[in-house]
Amino acid sequence: MKKLLVLLVTVVPGLALGMDSKGLCAPKERVIFSCSTNAGKQISVCSKGESVQYRFGRPGKVELEYPRNGDFTPSSFDYFHYFRPNENRTSLHFDTGDAEYTVFSESEGAKTSAGITVKVKANGRVQSLRCAGAAQANWYEIEGKVECADEPMNTCQ
Q: Where are the beta strands (DSSP E) in 9-145?
A: 30-36, 42-48, 51-58, 61-66, 78-84, 87-95, 99-108, 111-120, 126-130, 136-137
Question: Model-level pTM?
Answer: 0.83
How high is the pLDDT of residue 4?
A: 32
pLDDT digits 0-9 by tens, 21-30: 689 999 999 9
Q: Is the pLDDT of residue 15 over 50?
A: no
pLDDT digits 0-9 by tens, 58-113: 999 999 999 987 789 999 999 999 999 999 999 999 999 999 999 999 999 989 99
